[in-house]
Chains A and B, each alone.
Chain A
Amino acid sequence: QSALTQPASVSGSPGQSITISCTGSSSDVGSNFLVSWYQEHPGKAPKLMIYEGSKRPSGVSNRFSGSKSGNTASLTISGLQAEDEADYYCCSYAGSSTHVVFGGGTKLTVL
């Protein structure tokens, strides 16, 4: 059982927008901590897509955006493309002892 809760799957058609939620608690997402998001294609290593809650690393499309409200962080992908089909994981700092926690992952299907 993961510390952060993500929907098991989401889907959308090319060109549409989707949002993946990541719900935690006051010990992680809801605290003064910002979430990171990772994209994982089958057989590939995870790739950082969002850090510090809403920043994109160089090379990541501006179709990817991150936000947070209360105990829930969200990843929004606009203008869905076939190549966006992958698993997505959120991650939050969770204090000096636990350090970080991951979500269980969300499988995005582009219809």
Chain B
Amino acid sequence: QVQLQESGPGLVKPSETLSLTCTVSGGSISYFYWSWIRQPPGKGLEWIGYIYYSGSTNYNPSLKSRVTISVDTSKNQFSLKLSSVTAADTAIYYCAREGITMVQGVISDWFDPWGQGTLVTVSS
């Protein structure tokens, strides 16, 4: 079955750029939406943004000015860059496949599967 694995530095300095990659195995990255979601320690989940395999993106309005998500279909990977980070960006970052359907005008959206998550700490 499809599995996702996040990779990247676990420590980033304030004002620098956080960079993470998600590798998809057990299936193709094509024809799906792929998202990044984060969870600050002890807090709830926050959607960061998604990319469609073709390259189209959509970002959380609250993070839009700092987020870039890209895809490399040849490597079955997609990546997250978050610029100008502060301590508030310290979180577990998850990648996930996103399912979206619209049937008779009713829209459903879900995330499955998820990667195991990677903790990124912003600190000098």
Contacts and interface: CB of A to CB of B under 8 A. Distances in A.
B94 A45 contact: yes
Contact of A102 (B44, B99, B114): B44
A107 to B, nearest CB: 11
A105 B43 CA distance: 8
A93 B105 CA distance: 13
B46 A102 contact: yes
A35 B47 CA distance: 15
Contacts of A104: 44
Contact of B109 (A2, A46, A93): A93
Interface string B55-86: 00010110000000000000000000000000
Interface in A46-98: 46-48, 51-53, 57, 89, 91-93, 96-98
Interface residues on B, range: 20 to 34
B16 interface: no
Contacts of A53: 108
B106 A46 contact: no
A99 B58 contact: yes
A36 B47 contact: no
A2 B99 CA distance: 22
Interface of A: 2, 32-34, 36, 38, 44-48, 51-53, 57, 89, 91-93, 96-105
18 contacts: A32-B107, A33-B108, A36-B111, A44-B116, A45-B116, A45-B117, A46-B94, A47-B112, A57-B112, A89-B45, A91-B110, A99-B50, A99-B58, A99-B60, A99-B109, A102-B47, A103-B44, A104-B44
